[in-house]
Structure 1
Amino acid sequence: MRNVEIKARVRDLERTRQLAAQLSGSDGQQLDMRDTFFPAAHGRLKLREQTGAPNRLIFYDRPDTTGPKLSDYKLANLGEEVGPLREVLAAALGVRGDVEKRRYLYLVGQTRVHVDRVTGLGDFVELEVCLTDVQTAEDGQAVAERLMEQLGVAPDDLIDCAYMDMLLKKGDGEASS
């Protein structure tokens, strides 16, 4: 599966949520999440535990660049109890760290709009434009850029890396090996 993503800092979480709700025509869905990241030969591998949606094992690969970027990903939906899987993965691979966040999810056309409050980092918006088989990365980029404008995301708010990378740079990733 492929999508085009952007991630940006948010200066006013509630205002961004209001705009996303207007664009989606819904109140959105609140998800409390814990992502445990494991070392991978390439890309990123995480175990996502979340309320209100299936737990998932997710692999994704995307460049660390500012602005819209193409992401290839694979995911597996899991049952409710993922503790044993986390333990097996940690024993086999080690753990890079954990990211905890409260996410508000809004669906705007083919785009998943995430308004996130990330523990230790602050507030962000993430756009995931889900591409169809016939759409190009450029098509997705055009959708993302329109939504950025509608949500008031300025180019200098854009971020080029994952939350996990930001926490590790900051020294709060609780990384272990």
Structure 2
Amino acid sequence: MPSNVEIKAKVSDLTQFAQKAAELSQSEGTIIRQHDTFFSCSQGRLKLRDFMNGSGQLIFYERPDTDGPKLSRYSITPTSDPQSLQVVLSEALGVKGEVKKERRLFLIGQTRVHLDTVEGLGHYMELEVVMRPEQTVAEGQQVAEDLMEKLGVSKESLVTGAYMDLLLKEHKEI
């Protein structure tokens, strides 16, 4: 199963973070709109990502809910009919919730840097260090920590869990 080392953090200054990511990636990034539906499942997380253009991905992943760099294992299957698949999976498994976001993707070395505006939550960043077969988790964590420093991401801004978890927590507190 492929894996990456991930971190997620709250972003206080969207413009400043975007400028640093653009400098490091030597690009303005790619805008991607995503509508994720999370389904109930007994282990890990299962989500259907709809790119709002007739394409999507069914994604299963497992990772610990801790802040800082952590290993995530995942499986991805593309789909050309996310709406129909969403109906079937909703009926079969039940829906845990939905996350709608606009993502700006930057590529820096072996790392996917996401600058996300999440409906109902605000601005966040994610680093996904795509692990090479010969790399150790510690090496992936070091790549993530080095990039955090270059992007000005503080340890205090790190968050645990998925956006779905944060949205469910917000909803419970209302």
Pairwise CA distance, 1:101: 0.5
For each residue in 1:93-114, what CA deviation from the matched residue of structure 2 results, as whole angstroms up to 9, or x when unmatched? 0000000000000000000000
User: How many percent identity over aligned positions?
Assistant: 52
Aligned counterpart, 2:154: 154
Aligned counterpart, 1:175: none
**Contact kept in structure 1, 2:4 and 2:129, CA below 8 Å:** yes
SS in 2 for 1:132: coil
Aligned counterpart, 1:22: 23
Q: TM-score, normalised by structure 2?
A: 0.95
Paired amino acid for 1:109: G
Pairwise CA distance, 1:41: 1.1
Q: Please give the root-mean-square deviation of Cα atoms over the aligned residues, in Å.
A: 1.3
Runs of 4+ in 1 over 3 A off after TM superposition: 51-54
SS in 2 for 1:92: helix
Distance 1:146 1:165 in 2: 27
Distance 2:163 2:64 in 1: 14
Pairwise CA distance, 1:52: 7.1
SS in 2 for 1:70: strand
Distance 2:16 2:120 in 1: 21
SS in 1 for 2:27: coil
Distance 2:19 2:50 in 1: 26
**1:88-127 matched pairs, under 5 angstroms:** 88-127=88-127
Pairwise CA distance, 1:53: 9.6
SS in 2 for 1:123: strand
Equivalences, count: 171
Paired amino acid for 2:123: D
Q: TM-score, normalised by structure 1?
A: 0.94
